[in-house]
Structure 1
């Protein structure tokens, strides 16, 4: 999976993305909930859907 993410979001693109999108703070006062998905993985998913033409679920 990491190979796919690295291929879809190369380091140069990731650096540009981090310049325009601020880092997210995860605040869980009660300590529950699902683990947050990584920003780079989410960006890779968006790029995959946009370039492959598959439907978004």
Structure 2
């Protein structure tokens, strides 16, 4: 479903402007959601 809401062309544009996720050297914390899934949720709303 994510691929349907966020086509590859839009995803390529999005990847150009969004910075990569920082690495957490201490580890722990919540697990990140995928960037493409988050973009699909934003588009859905």
State the TM-score, normalized to the length of structure 2.
Answer: 0.85
| Alpha-carbon distance change, 5 to 15 in structure 1, aligned in 2, over 3 angstroms | same
Tell me the equivalent position of 1:47: 43
Q: How many residues align?
A: 45
Q: Which runs of 5+ in 2 are unaligned?
A: none
Aligned-pair Cα RMSD in Å: 1.2
Tell me the equivalent position of 1:8: 5
Structure with the bigger RCO (C-alpha within 8 Å, sep 6+) is 2
List 4+ stretches of structure 1 deviating above 2 A: none
State the TM-score, normalized to the length of structure 1.
Answer: 0.70
Specify the structure having the higher radius of gyration (Cα): 1
